[in-house]
Structure 1
């Protein structure tokens, strides 16, 4: 792969990310220039695997797409990259990033494994399961982004532990808010990411949501998840106080979940119909203000 071709693929990742995940694309614009292409590749990969469910008509077809990505990462062990990977801009850029920034392959493989849950209609059994799902699909991205930016000096075990804790809480907050925003689509697809033990505490099951019921118990369950997301935001911000400035850059995205949470608490909010969004200028302003 020529340098020009790879640079083109990184640029295409940026274009794809702008269309599929505007929040992460905006955050990339604030990152150091040298890290930006690698962040584009990482986040474009995440966008690709997050939308697999919407692209397939049967779970087995989604499994095949996930397996393609698993095989792509496994190809790093081979001497010669497969031709179909060199021709796939996101795969080509991701594999180059994994090698150049020494990213742990297993973290990406774990994310692919977690995404199998998206393909089926099994409800999330409990909060422990949902925490694990959020960690592997979202917290991992914060950790990898920090590694790409080079925020924590190697060998500093204390800083690495704090960074890991910050990534865990930031990812859980970001993922929970994302799942709450996606509730209208999940209900339409008969998917339930709301943990069964939380629903049971409020006398609910997934069927209450699929029936689009509106009652105080449903409002209370969603409010509890919003409170949990805010708790994770607070824990992440507390952890970040112990990191050097460079180590905080990968967490700039943490400025955005609170904006969406506020929109969910408007009087006209309908969890089944409201498309929770925030004007672009407000997101840009929040990201700028959240500078390390």
Structure 2
């Protein structure tokens, strides 16, 4: 590993410590020689995910996404070395021969976050999750153990959907204030709600049923991930943050409509313990 790669990895870790503590801890629990590449992948994902938090209008967000499109297309602007996340990502792609297509799809998926259009169907949600969280698990797996990653693509796919569902549940209070909605309209319709009624937050009984059903969707994929097979010890670090989905989904199912206003995230200590436990048992 070059000194430059090590330095970029350290900067990516510092960024993750500030904006994505769970993935920061997951990096620390990953093999040291693979850590810079994993940190770069996670930092890249985190930068995409927080664009909506940094801009007031969609256009500046689209400009930020275009930067990453151009980088992955080999048309980067200026010196890549000036952006340690970009440099670290390109180094990881080269060293581990990572495919560009899923990284490019990850950028395109985040375009949805810039607008307030609803997710129409369950399939749309699963596609969004597949191109973000599931892809990130698979790419991390290619860094850790390429052969085993290929064998556990199904586990990664379902785990990523469960993780995305849990993450969206945790973000529901923020999304509601923005007027964003990630619960599929198909699901809302099944309990007698529409977008406006859910965001208004007044019909607590139906809203509770919708959140419970949404959590149920995540639990369904979590169970499918478990049935698809446990990852090997070498691949396990790729699934560390996905193992945090289960307690959130369980809490959301119990909280119902209170999930619109409550923080359902377990404590930092409990999350750390769950990740350590997963490395021992490898059960999501």
Could you state the TM-score of these two structures normalised by the residue count of structure 2? 0.92
Could you state the TM-score of these two structures normalised by the residue count of structure 1? 0.90
Long gaps (5+) in structure 2: none
1:34 is paired with a residue whose SS is helix
What residue number does 1:117 align with? 112
> Does the CA-based 8 Å contact 2:208-2:256 persist in structure 1?
no
> Does the CA-based 8 Å contact 1:196-1:205 persist in structure 2?
yes
Deviation at 1:208, TM superposition (A): 1.2
Deviation at 1:226, TM superposition (A): 0.9
* Residue 266 to residue 90, structure 1, CA distance change in 2 (3 Å): same
What residue number does 1:24 align with? 23
What residue number does 1:222 align with? 211
Which of 253, 270, 282 aligns to 1:282? It is: 270
What residue number does 1:174 align with? 163
2:241 is paired with a residue whose SS is helix
Deviation at 1:144, TM superposition (A): 0.4
Q: Distance in 2 between matches of 1:147 and 1:268?
A: 38
> Does the CA-based 8 Å contact 1:151-1:244 persist in structure 2?
no
> Does the CA-based 8 Å contact 2:215-2:250 persist in structure 1?
no
Q: Distance in 2 between matches of 1:14 and 1:182?
A: 23
Structure 1 segment 7-156 matched on structure 2, within 5 A? 7-75=6-74, 83-150=78-145, 152=147
C-alpha RMSD of the superposition: 2.0
Q: Distance in 2 between matches of 1:64 and 1:136?
A: 20
What residue number does 2:249 align with? 261
Q: Distance in 1 between matches of 2:26 and 2:4?
A: 25
Deviation at 1:151, TM superposition (A): 5.0
Count of residue correspondences: 280
- Runs of 4+ displaced beyond 6 Å: none
Deviations 1:25-70 (A, max 9, x none): 1122221111111111000010101011111111111111000110
Q: Distance in 2 between matches of 1:163 and 1:268?
A: 33
Q: Distance in 1 between matches of 2:276 and 2:233?
A: 15
2:116 is paired with a residue whose SS is coil
Q: Distance in 2 between matches of 1:22 and 1:263?
A: 21
2:79 is paired with a residue whose SS is helix
Long gaps (5+) in structure 1: 154-158
Q: Distance in 1 between matches of 2:130 and 2:111?
A: 15
Deviation at 1:104, TM superposition (A): 0.7
Q: Which moved more, 1:105-114 or 1:20-29?
A: 20-29
